Amino acid sequence: MTVGAFLLGIMVILDYVMPLPVDKLYASGTTVVTDRHGEPLRLFADNNGVWRYPVRLDQVSPYYIDALINYEDRWFWNHPGINPFSLLRALYQWIDSGRVVSGGSTLTMQLARIIDPHERSITGKIKQLFRATQLSWHLNRKQILTHYINHAPFGGPFEGVEAASRVYLGKSAQNLSQAEAALLAVLPQAPSRLRPDRHPENAQKARNKVLNRLDRFTVWPAKEIAQARNELVYALQNTTPHHAPLLTRHLKKIDGRSVIHTTLDGDLQALLSRKINDHAHFLPPKTSMALLMVENETMVVHAYRGSADFTNQNRFGHVDMVRAVRSPGSLLKPFLYGLALDDGLIHSHSLLTDAPQDFQGYRPNNFHVGFQGPVSMTKALQNSLNVPAVSILDHIGSIRFSTHLRRAGLRLRFPGDTLPNLALILGGAGTTLEELVPLYAALARDGQVGTLRYLPEQQLIKKPLLSPGAAWIIRRILSSAPTPPGIPERYLPKHQRIAWKTGTSYGYRDAWAIGVTDRYTLGVWVGRPDGVPIPGQYGAITAAPFLFNILQSLPEKALWNSPQPPPETVTQQEICWPLGTAPPTDQNQATTFCHQRHKAWILNGVVPPTLPDRFEKHWISPIRTIAINPDTGRWVPSLCPVRPTRKKNLVRWPTLLHPWLNRTLRQQQSVPRVDHACKQYDTSLSASFKITGLNPDTILRPAGSSTILPPIQLSVLGAIDTIYWLINGKMIKQTEPNTPLTHQFNKSGRFEISAMDAYGHHDTVTITINLE
């Protein structure tokens, strides 16, 4: 057996007995989360507090590889991990001078010391040589060099050239200049003494030493090296990136890779974060805010901010409000109306009733107390009226609507074990900003909900929410809504309109605003993470201004595409109230059936009629045909023998809207007085719901020289439930059946006082007040 074979056998045995601790090379423990361009958003240190940003050789500047190899280990590509000539030279210089003049360690030996540290002794050096030999057996040259550039110490907690380049120079190692490459090549020799942020003079001397050697070996042209020497060493303040901290924390938790590339746009993230930082100063104490912005076409997330200030415990900065379950307030209304459009239940200007109603014991009010009477679907959605939305949900069904949303990707959380109910449309279930934004993005995606994509490799999964036509109509309605109060004109794009909707949860706990442009959807939440109410803070004045501020700060070309026509399924058509259908072609019939005309967006050519009064047990046609005495113009009941008669059609408005109808509309739908010859057949005078306390057309004046009128008291005869009182169409109070209304008139004029209940019973008296 030869000596060589014997030594080889010994090495094999030692390699088995003392395996190479390569786990330290692959199980780094550090995590880097980057934006879409590879710029780090956040670095997570390992258990030892080390920051590292792993890269491949092709992701590092060739200048750095040149400087590193030619300064540290010129024969790296040729020797087996140990350079005996370098070792002998270093030994001779040490004996000759009595001190260490040059090191004999190769890059492989330096990597061996990194993965298996040893004492500075003869025994330690032998161990290092053995580990270097093992590295050369198990890894090729490129693998060894890759591990070195990712594990070399660069001062403080930073290891690897990429981490050092990012922290000290503010750039990727792929973009290093020749001077910067030389600086980072020498820095691991004495990381603490040569740190450019603390000792720039030392760092510059060491860098120039590298440049001198490269000049001597003619690695780079002399002119370029001379220019590199003239560069001053300057380092950024030692700060690590800390963008989107809550999202990066979440991704690190669910993704085990050492480098996680996200879809976030670093520049946009920084811009919106600065705006949140500025805006947070004006928020009440303990209030936070969140933001999520996605690209509609691809559903990639471009910006994510989970709290107002991650480091501020007073604002619960550690709580991610993008993913927190909260009440959405009115934010689900657009999708309810969209589903009703697809069902053929309504069109954009269907006549809806905004009046007191009882839905099996549930009696919703509007956010701003009061009712508006007859409203179109467009107005009901733009003004976020509650009663019309509850009425539509009552027709569609709470369980069906909830199921429809769940199939589209919205997971609603109901309190306890309760089933979906009518309160759902007013915020009676929990959801998240992360789930709501994709729903609104569907309005710009032909009604298709796409899953959010935080990582480039995530697949875009589509789920149907609305038809393209319904999505277009809803977006058109939201984009034509008046802007919230206090929004300056400078916040509005010049040529396009933002489709936007706000929401406010019960008790002013959550304020929302979501806006949709052609290219992006942006959602904003403001509130207290602990759920404490913030009186006076609601979507339109708290979240919406910030939403418009952000969208205004972005270039218009980044928000809008070229205008697109409506889908083929959508047409615009004139419709009539109160029937809700197209006007008759016959002019005489049009006068009778068409009390008001409106332009409506129609889906699939269907013009659905006005929904019937929901409290009626059986459907009653809104068109009533009566007999009229042609001589007197009065009504002839069917049992009355007066002949001949002529037919007259009357069109009835929904019963609950009567208090809001003007005199002309009431006359158009009212049955004329009974003919004198038919009074014994008249059954219309047995009214059971009647205002008492004032007669119609009463004129009230103060007594004597006084200008103050005493309060009036009114009651309702025949009332069996809560009474809603309106003056000139505006609700002023509600009373119980046995409680009179007391009201003080403070100005002159003609006033129409109406009383109604939730079952359609109503009465009206008109009085005149003269305080002069």
What positions carry a catalytic annotation?
A: 72, 330
| Residue from 294, 320, 305, 323 nearest 460 by CA | 294
Closest CA to 76 of 51, 57, 61, 53: 57
State the number of CA atoms in the 13 A half-sphere of 175 facing the CB: 7
Which residue, among 543, 599, 4, 18, has the nearest Cα to 282 in the 3D structure? 543
Instruction: For residue 286, give the DSSP letter.
Output: T
Torsions phi, psi for 190 (to 5 deg): -150, 75
Structure tokens at 116: 């298996």
Rounded Cα gap, residues 161 and 669, in angstroms: 84
| Number of Cβ within a 10 Å radius of residue 625 | 9
d(CA 552, CA 563): 19
Residue in 668, 658, 519 with CA at minimum distance from that of residue 592:
668
Contact 576, 593 (CB under 8 A): yes
Reduced to 3 states (helix: H, G, I; strand: E, B; else coil), residue 187 is helix
Using a 10 angstrom Cβ sphere, with 0-12 exposed, 13-18 middle and 19 or more buried, the burial of residue 682 is: middle
**Two tokens, residue 617:** 């047990």
Q: How many Cα atoms occupy the beta-carbon half-sphere of 197 within 13 Å?
A: 17
CA angle (629, 621, 761) in 5-degree steps? 90
Residue 472: strand, helix, or coil = helix
Kindly state the tokens that stand for 286.
């303990």
Tokens 């956010």 correspond to: 367
In 3D space, the residue among 512, 648, 659 whose CA is nearest the CA of residue 592 turns out to be 648
CA separation for the pair 45, 51 (Å, rounded) = 5
Which pair of tokens denotes residue 79?
A: 């020797």
Sequence-separated contacts (24+) of 2-10 with Cβ below 8 Å: none
**Residue with tokens 């809550």, as numbered in its chain:** 246
Say if residues 240 and 39 touch (Cβ distance below 8 Å). no
- The answer to whether 254 and 260 are in contact (CB under 8 A) is no
Spatial contact of 473 and 570, defined as CB atoms under 8 Å apart: yes
What DSSP string runs through 303-365? Answer: EEE-SS-TT-GGGTTTS-TTSS-B--TTTTHHHHHHHHHHTTS--TT-EEEES---BTTB---
Q: Which residues of 715-727 are buried (b: 16+ CB within 10 A; e: fewer)?
A: bbeebeebbbbbb
Q: What's the CA gap between 160 and 184, in Å, rounded?
A: 10
Distance CA(346)–CA(396), nearest Å, equals 11
Q: Are 640 and 632 in contact (CB under 8 A)?
A: no
How many residues does this entry show for the chain? 772
450: burial class by Cβ within 10 Å (0-12, 13-18, 19+)?
A: buried
Say if residues 89 and 102 touch (Cβ distance below 8 Å).
Answer: yes
| H-helix or E-strand spanning residue 161 | helix 161-164
- CA torsion sign for 408, 412, 417, 418 is negative
Quote the DSSP letter at residue 158: E
